[in-house]
A and B are shown apart, each in its own frame.
Chain A
Amino acid sequence: MSAPSASARARRGERAAERRLAFWLLVPALAALGLVVAYPVASAVYRSFFDDPIGAEPSFVGLANYAQALIGHDREEFYAALSNTVFFTAVSVVLETLIGLGMALVMHRAFRGRGIVRAAVLLPWALPTAVSAVMWGWMLQPDGIVNALTGAEVVWGGGEWPAKWSIVFAEVWKTAPFVAILILAGLQTIPPHLYEAAAMDGASAWRRFTSITLPLAKPALVVAVLFRTLDALRMYDLPQILTGGANDTATLSMLVVQAATGELKQGYGGALSTITFLFVFGCAFLLIRTLGANVFRPAEGASR
């Protein structure tokens, strides 16, 4: 304090050194993300404005590739994939959230066997989707265990709706436990004295659930729904391995891969992938707006 200008200069120097250090610490992460996310995305967008001639240089066609998917001769395929994606996402996220909430409530009240329950819940989450898809493909064979146990005679891979529901089942089975873990974390932040006070005031179990549990667990619920929706909208592994897109079960992601790597139409594939990520971003934006999710809250609390 006795030499304010000197100490101010020292502080400025320290700040500059800190900025330099931060820069060098961040470079590897930014380089990796630039190489694998930013460059390919930019290149796919750029390529989407060019056509796909065989054995010639691609030429600029403006928005023709987008028109081909949205209003042109591939529109039926595109809208089928779009509606499949929306169907899979909406149905499985709703089911996952309900089942996950039920699981979380049970886990929250369980005093015996917590370790076993926790391990059991983690296993479907940890299982690779590829393995899960193969496993469900086996269980949903016409003479498989699911039909045998339920007494049903559904040919799961043989029709549009059985095939769609088999994807939903496999997806919900694997992800409901993940939702349960996120919601349980929210439930555990609710102070128990609230329930004691409410019980003393004569609130019924249902009333306690709707007035205390739901509102206080809402942030966790919102984050779970947001994570799951974004994941489900990009669903690829499961339908690709389980049905291969047969019986009208192709998702947007499958369409992109099919066009770009299967048919080698990089321009059209680029347009499809651009539409897909704009769609996912739009959904994320809408969800954050309507649910009031504050996903970046830890970032904003930076200064503690």
Chain B
Amino acid sequence: MTATAPARAPRRSAARRRLPGWEKWVIGAGIVLLVLYCLAPFYWMFVSSLKGPAEITTDRLWPEDPTLVNYRGVFGGANDFGYAVRNSVVIAVSTTVLAMAIATASSYALARLRFRGRNLLLALVLACSMFPGVAIVTPLYRLFSDWRWIDEYQAMVVPNISFALPLAIFVLTTFFREMPWELEEAARVDGCGPVGAFARVILPLAAPGVATTSLLVFFAAWNEYLISSVVSITLASTPVTVALAKFAGDTEFQQPFGSQMAAGVVVTLPLVVLVLLFQRRIVQGLSAGSHR
């Protein structure tokens, strides 16, 4: 690869030439181990989901007689997982849209506007992410009972927004600080209003940062369990994580592992697609806090 295009990737080839033979083997073995470590459990979940009740307890590494019976069990019968998927989509998407709107406004203020106590405020917002979720679950439950929010989407969307805000504001503020604000000023001199200047000049430039942050918020909302397990009761609002954990088996004493694995695959699939599409972005967002 590098030998054929040495001019295009000089530093890469130099670094590569420095690797002694044994080191190349160690790195290669390390990569294989790393990929196995990360993916083997996923593979096993997928394979198990394709095994029928007679085969599921065998440790065969591939299904002898692949069947979709587990998937039928997931979406049919007492489980009705389709509702849970719908609920999770509604909850995660509305959380992402609302949290991003709120976080963009705050981050603009924190990164761009001059006012007293701005750093203190950012630190305070960050400190909010330190509170244990369990510390707020009971008072929240009482509050939502009074408001008749139990078993409604907003009982999960509003807490999800608040949990997402500290990270979203932090990452967005970091992105906004590096924007070329002179351009915004130039637009204002040319007659744009403050909102117009922001929307036409800064937002397009900040789009990668906004997209990255939205992904992190979406993942967090899709994966939330604690609050949902307390405030959702029926199929009308239960998200996938809670539904999966209390899956019903054929009998009371038998855990329906086949269906659970199939549901796990269903829950994981959209995440796999997002990761494959946006891996570079997600890594950027995750490391935004650690090396700036």
Pair A33/B128 contact, Cβ less than 8 Å:
yes
A122 nearest CB neighbor, chain B only: B275
Nearest Cβ on chain A to B181's Cβ, whole angstroms: 10
B222 within 8 A of A: yes
Bound form: Cα–Cα A261–B44 in Å: 35
B83 within 8 A of A: no
**Contacts A109-B27, A118-B283 given; does A33 touch B162 at CB 8 Å:** yes
B228 nearest CB neighbor, chain A only: A130
**Contacts A25-B109, A130-B241 given; does A266 touch B165 at CB 8 Å:** no
**Residues 138-171 of chain B: 1 if any A CB is under 8 Å from the residue's CB, otherwise 0?**
1111110000000000000011011101100110
Residues in B with CB closer than 8 Å to A249 are: none
The number of chain B residues with a CB under 8 A from chain A is: 103
Pair B39/A120 contact, Cβ less than 8 Å:
yes
**Residues 230-243 of chain A: 1 if any B CB is under 8 Å from the residue's CB, otherwise 0?**
10011011000100
Q: Which of A185, A192, A273 contacts B291 (CB 8 A)?
A: A185
List A residues 265-281 near B (Cβ within 8 Å).
266, 269-270, 273-274, 276-277, 280-281
A290 within 8 A of B: no
Residues in B with CB closer than 8 Å to A139 are: 41, 44
Nearest Cβ on chain A to B87's Cβ, whole angstroms: 14
Pair A121/B114 contact, Cβ less than 8 Å:
no
Pair A130/B136 contact, Cβ less than 8 Å:
no
Residues in A with CB closer than 8 Å to B286 are: 125, 178, 181-182, 185
**Contacts A36-B140, A280-B132 given; does A22 touch B59 at CB 8 Å:** no
Residues in A with CB closer than 8 Å to B134 are: 234, 236, 252-253, 256-257, 273, 276
Residues in A with CB closer than 8 Å to B143 are: 39-40, 43
Interface of B is mostly: helix
**Contacts A19-B115, A123-B275, A219-B290 given; does A129 touch B158 at CB 8 Å:** no
Pair B275/A134 contact, Cβ less than 8 Å:
no
Bound form: Cα–Cα A235–B211 in Å: 29
Pair A32/B223 contact, Cβ less than 8 Å:
no
Pair B135/A274 contact, Cβ less than 8 Å:
yes
Q: Which of A36, A105, A129, A131 contacts B136 (CB 8 A)?
A: A36
Pair B165/A21 contact, Cβ less than 8 Å:
no
A107 within 8 A of B: yes
Q: Which of A117, A143, A189, A199 contacts B34 (CB 8 A)?
A: A117
Pair A127/B119 contact, Cβ less than 8 Å:
no
B274 nearest CB neighbor, chain A only: A126
List A residues 19-40 near B (Cβ within 8 Å).
19, 21-23, 25-26, 28-29, 32-33, 35-37, 39-40
Pair A304/B177 contact, Cβ less than 8 Å:
yes
Bound form: Cα–Cα A255–B39 in Å: 33
**Residues 207-235 of chain A: 1 if any B CB is under 8 Å from the residue's CB, otherwise 0?**
00000000000011001100000100110
Q: Which segment, of B66-74, B200-208, B264-272, faces chain A? A: B264-272
B186 within 8 A of A: no
A41 within 8 A of B: yes
Which residue, of A40, A144, A189, has the highest number of chain B Cβ atoms within 10 A?
A40
Bound form: Cα–Cα A281–B23 in Å: 43
Which residue, of A111, A220, A296, has the highest number of chain B Cβ atoms within 10 A?
A111
B161 nearest CB neighbor, chain A only: A32
Pair B105/A37 contact, Cβ less than 8 Å:
no
Pair A270/B161 contact, Cβ less than 8 Å:
no
Bound form: Cα–Cα A177–B162 in Å: 26
Bound form: Cα–Cα A234–B291 in Å: 25
Residues in B with CB closer than 8 Å to A304 are: 177
Q: Which of B102, B114, B223, B275 contacts A28 (CB 8 A)?
A: B102
Pair B165/A32 contact, Cβ less than 8 Å:
yes
Pair B290/A182 contact, Cβ less than 8 Å:
yes
Which residue, of B158, B222, B245, B286, has the highest number of chain A Cβ atoms within 10 A?
B245
Q: Which of B135, B275, B283 contacts A44 (CB 8 A)?
A: B135
A54 within 8 A of B: no
Which residue, of B108, B130, B139, B163, has the highest number of chain A Cβ atoms within 10 A?
B139
B30 nearest CB neighbor, chain A only: A106
B237 within 8 A of A: no
Pair A120/B131 contact, Cβ less than 8 Å:
no
Pair A192/B11 contact, Cβ less than 8 Å:
yes
Bound form: Cα–Cα A181–B282 in Å: 10
List B residues 273-292 near A (Cβ within 8 Å).
274-276, 279-280, 282-283, 286-287, 289-292
B169 nearest CB neighbor, chain A only: A29
Nearest Cβ on chain A to B58's Cβ, whole angstroms: 9
B230 within 8 A of A: yes
Residues in A with CB closer than 8 Å to B257 are: 138, 141
Give 30 A-B contacts (CB < 8 Å), ordered by A residue: A26-B109, A28-B106, A33-B166, A36-B163, A40-B136, A41-B131, A44-B136, A106-B30, A111-B15, A117-B35, A119-B276, A123-B38, A123-B272, A126-B219, A134-B260, A135-B261, A138-B260, A143-B57, A143-B59, A144-B59, A173-B41, A219-B291, A236-B225, A253-B134, A256-B135, A296-B122, A296-B126, A298-B177, A299-B122, A302-B118
Counting from the closest, the 4 A-B pairs by CB-CB distance are A185-B287, A36-B162, A40-B136, A106-B30
